[in-house]
Chain A
Amino acid sequence: MLRYLFSASTWAATLRLSAPLGLAAMGSVFGHKARIFNIGLESYVLTSAFFATWGSYLFENAFIGLLFGMAAGIVMSGIFGIFVLHLKADPIVVGIAMNLSSWGLTSLLLLNIFHIRGSIMDPRIKSFSTIHIPFLDHIPIINDIFNNQNILVYMTIVVVILSHIIMYKTPFGLRIRGVGINESAMEAAGVSVIKYKWASLIITGVLVGAGGAFLPLSGISMFTENMSAGKGFLAVTAARIGNGDPLKAFFACFIFAFADALSVGLQNFSIPSQLVLMTPYVITIVVMCFTNLSELRKESV
């Protein structure tokens, strides 16, 4: 059983499953660093998954689907930003409202556009394809894990590295971090706080939108109600575990994805499926506990 669990195919599945989470977590990372607590990411993921499906359906083109997904993400960020940054609403209330309404909204649109309930599958919905990288063929385990993945998986790796560079090597990243640490010092340094908060929100929209688009467009070419299934929440969690550091946040995503991949593998064994499906979430709680342990120790007097 252990041999199965730690086989190359589990790792390959882990990498594949970490990609949508990773994209969304990179979006959340920028918000986290700019100190915007955006619990509404779940709604971003679900909404952009729907619109990506629709875009792909309309144009029979996966890339346009991705653009639709990103646009949906930006619109969601726009709604969040107007309420939170300008109308000074409580970000948690806004986030929860968005999460709940996106559920209804996508089901409604599904019914109105596709005249269907539950889920939509259609040959016109095109997915991104996998890529074969010839030079990996000769490296044994690496080949099994990294080769023949979906194009979006490779894109995710690039996005993670880019996020890290932007966050730590550019003036823009420095300012985003500054905004999160001390707003009045930012104003005193002559930097517009609101501008950078908006910039971080837009990035969140684009990346979480891409993460949402990944769900229907990575091969299955279908949209189901409540397809996000907590991925937005996991992305927020990952960003918090990594304290806004892109690499650490992606590592957290990787752990969640591994748990997810395990739960798929464990279904072949005689373990109650409900328990198996719990694994990712149990692991989330355990990881949260461990990362916060040092904090807890500090606070206890």
Chain B
Amino acid sequence: MDDIILEVKHISKYFGTFAANKNIDLKVKKGTVHSIIGENGAGKSTLMNMISGIYQPSQGEIYVKGEKVVFRNPNDATKRGIGMVHQEFMLFPELTILENLMMGFETTKSGRFLDKKKAAADIEEITKKYNFSIPLNQKAEELPVSLLQQVEIVKVLYKGAELIILDEPTAVLTPQGIEGLFAAIRNLTKLGKTIIMITHKLKEVMEISDYITVLKDGEVTGNLLPQETNEEEMASLMVGRKVLFNTTKQEKQIGGPILEVKKLTVADSDGVDRVKNVSLTVKKGEIVGIAGVAGSGQSELVEAIFGLRRPKSGDIYYKNELITNKTPREKRQVKIGYVPQDRLATGCCVNGSLMENCIMGYHVAHKFSNPRLINKKEARDFTEDVEKQFQVKIQDISDAMGTMSGGNIQKAIVGREFMQDNNLLIIEDPTRGIDVGAIEFIWQKIIDISEQGCSILLVSHELGEIMELSDRILIMYNGEITGNLLNTADLDEKTVGLYMLGGKKDEA
């Protein structure tokens, strides 16, 4: 069969004794979109890294267009027309897009000097053919994520890729950005390119794929066709049990205002106003979600509220008390908790033990210390509570935080903040890059704690998450709150997405 562009036979990969991939078979047809789905740690990335030459398989064979190949490095795969777009963009922020595209694949004149003109002409030909538009002379750090992703795709096309592997391509995009990406994918397959997409977003899989392969614990647990399956089946093949995506909500009492932000303006480190004259209120027991395209000012707003960044003007009231210029420590003392977006850099100390991390930030504010020394027993008890109630999987609570998976780290951080009976929680992207089982768990915990009367300000780049959890949705666009919507059953993602792009604005 000559329309099979890639075939993987009985491939396995061992790291020490751990089998990341066990005996995997995969056939990818030319001109199709083939989705590989699975939880984190299911072996998707390992498989793709072998196909793109980053790892060498321990056993098994790879065939490209019916020919057996052995890739010793990514270059070998590139030569065979296989290109990978990584989840973390492989770009150089301080270089121009043109230099980014040329890197490692330079066009030269007289054999020595970079020929930027010719490279630019070649790239423009590609962008025209596949209908991309990217500014070649701007620096990568100046461009938004959706454009950077296009840059990555153009990069692999420029290197002559026939088969493009996209690793979690939609993780960083808005609904509109995702539509744009899917349009580009359809265009690419129409012109004969083949796409392998790694993802764990099932809705998108259904929309774009021609074929679906499910991985679990390094093995293929299903080969499906989108027209013959549904999200529940895929989820249960991924997790190995039934997954309910709908969290259970009970009727709850929403009380008076807990947090009031009045006309807050916050500048970033370059002095540019990122938050402009924002006012918002969070009431007792209410979950307020802030949706918006990444970089609309959400991070700066949250940092200002928690005290990590000093606002330029405006006031923040908490229980009718002015707290604008209080430090994070003072804010923790009055029971404001914070789950930061970057769990590894801001949320925890990777080299510290689980126990140290669990009392971190509360070692002074709360009960773990007498005036000078940490009360080890209290700390241990608390950590064990977190471990148990938040299902943190760790061998010993004195093991380092960094030994756990992302999902477990996140559960520990969420547990730490949730078990302090805080009155207000500021939560940023609580489920970013963690697997479906953990997402379901954390979502339910957020709902539960709000039902106990805790107020929550939830910032997420995952619109689905905001829609699922929030009682009320604020939309941030370009530093302003442009929408304030009650999350009722008839609110759909499209409407919110329109707000997120500044297409619609509440006059209220």
Contacts and interface: CB of A to CB of B under 8 A. Distances in A.
B84 A188 contact: yes
Interface string A132-176: 000000000000000000000000000000000000011100110
B269 A181 contact: no
Interface in A95-132: none
A174 B90 contact: no
B90 A170 contact: no
A178 B269 contact: no
Contacts of B270: 298
Interface stretch (B97-105, B123-131, B181-189): B97-105
B103 A191 contact: yes
B92 interface: yes
Contact of B92 (A178, A187, A299): A178
B90 A182 contact: yes
A186 interface: yes
B78 A190 contact: yes
Contacts of A185: 89-92, 103
B445 interface: no
A171 to B, nearest CB: 4
A178 B103 contact: yes
Contact of A178 (B84, B95, B113): B95
B380 interface: no
Given A181-B94, A185-B90, A298-B269, A175 B113 contact: no
Interface string B94-119: 11000100111110100011100000
A170 B84 contact: no
A177 interface: yes
A191 B93 contact: no
A169 B114 contact: yes
Contacts of B113: 169-170
Contacts of B502: none
A174 B74 contact: no
A7 interface: no
B331 to A, nearest CB: 15
A177 B103 CA distance: 10
Contacts of A301: 269, 308-310
Contacts of B309: 301
Contacts of A186: 103-104
A186 to B, nearest CB: 7
A186 B308 CA distance: 34
A291 interface: no
Contact of A190 (B74, B91, B92): B74
A181 B75 contact: no
Most central of A171, A181, A188, A298 by chain B CB within 10 Å: A188
Nearest to B269: A298
B95 A177 contact: yes
Contacts of B138: none
B84 A174 contact: no
A80 B92 CA distance: 27
B94 A188 contact: no
B363 interface: no
Q: Interface size bucket, B side?
A: 20 to 34
A1 interface: no
A181 B84 contact: no
Contacts of B90: 182, 184-185, 188-189
Interface in A184-209: 184-191
A174 B106 contact: yes
B114 A187 contact: no
A190 B95 contact: no
A10 B74 CA distance: 55
Interface in A233-288: none
B147 to A, nearest CB: 17
A175 to B, nearest CB: 7
Most central of A169, A175, A178, A189 by chain B CB within 10 Å: A189
Given A189-B90, A190-B78, A174 B269 contact: no
Contacts of A182: 90-93
Nearest to A299: B269
Nearest to A168: B114
Contacts of A178: 92, 95, 103-104
A185 B100 CA distance: 10
B263 interface: no
B375 interface: no
B136 to A, nearest CB: 15
A175 B112 CA distance: 13
A162 B91 CA distance: 27
Given A299-B269, A301-B309, A187 B74 contact: yes
A182 B100 CA distance: 11
Nearest to B84: A188
Contacts of B103: 174-175, 178, 185-186, 189, 191
A241 to B, nearest CB: 17
A189 B95 contact: no
Contacts of B229: none
B86 interface: yes
A174 B93 contact: no
6 contacts: A174-B102, A174-B106, A178-B103, A185-B92, A298-B270, A299-B269
Interface of A: 169-171, 174-175, 177-178, 181-182, 184-191, 298-299, 301
Closest 3 CB pairs of A and B: A189-B104, A190-B75, A185-B90
